A and B are shown apart, each in its own frame.
Chain A
Amino acid sequence: SQLAEENLWALSVHEGESVTVNCSYKTSITALQWYRQKSGEGPAQLILIRSNEREKRNGRLRATLDTSSQSSSLSITATRCEDTAVYFCATDYYGGSGNKLIFGTGTLLSVKP
């Protein structure tokens, strides 16, 4: 089973609308990261939020972290067509010989004109 998992497989919004992608995880973490992957590219980090932080912003992006419910959200305001991508959350966990970063299966966000 996934240690980190986005709650929806796919979302669709119209340009200019706001959208939120949710993630739940199963282990204690030091940080949770959000990545975006556009078609044909490798994932790129959007936000890293540490376990002692509750909210972090990066331009139109806002991430929240609730360690009590082991959940996180990524909100995008004023969406643009170029925000169309798969969004992953990723958490670190200690497995065997060292720390590893485990990704969820991703949420496909489609932003339509």
Chain B
Amino acid sequence: DMKVTQMPRYLIKRMGENVLLECGQDMSHETMYWYRQDPGLGLQLIYISYDVDSNSEGDIPKGYRVSRKKREHFSLILDSAKTNQTSVYFCASSRDTSGNTLYFGEGSRLIVV
């Protein structure tokens, strides 16, 4: 059905708590991404995964880690969340990295208080 699903859609956490954002895709895409979006900054790449257990840092990886144990699932983990990690997080997938279309989820809005 060509869908990227993100869970949860909304999350409020206290500073120092751990956060798990999950993403799934039903297209058997090799490549998956995590971006964060803040006003005026556009979409910033946090991590990219080229396949299972083949992950690479993006432009702003500090404070984040990822896990990809199955091709269809890609998780973003914040160990000890900080207030400056309040943002909207988008997961995306693409067939591969050769200039292909990215399919985005609807986003996960995280507030860290």
Q: Which chain B residues in 15-62 approach chain A with CB under 8 Å?
A: 33, 35, 40-43, 45, 48, 50, 56-59
Given contacts A105-B41, A105-B42, contact A99 B98 (CB under 8 A): yes
Chain B residues with CB under 8 Å of A105's CB are 40-42
User: CB distance B105 to A42 under 8 Å?
Assistant: yes
By secondary structure, the A interface counts as strand
Measured between C-beta atoms, what is the minimum distance from A5 to chain B in Å?
Answer: 9
Report the bound CA distance from A82 to B100 in whole Å. 26
Contact bitstring A31-48, B, C-beta under 8 A = 1, else 0? 101010000111111001
Q: Which chain B residues in 69-111 approach chain A with CB under 8 Å?
A: 90, 92, 94, 97-107
Given contacts A42-B90, A42-B106, A96-B56, contact A103 B43 (CB under 8 A): yes
User: CB distance A100 to B97 under 8 Å?
Assistant: yes
Given contacts A100-B48, A103-B43, A106-B42, contact A30 B104 (CB under 8 A): no
Q: Which 5 A-B pairs have the closest CB atoms?
A: A42-B104, A31-B99, A99-B97, A105-B42, A103-B43
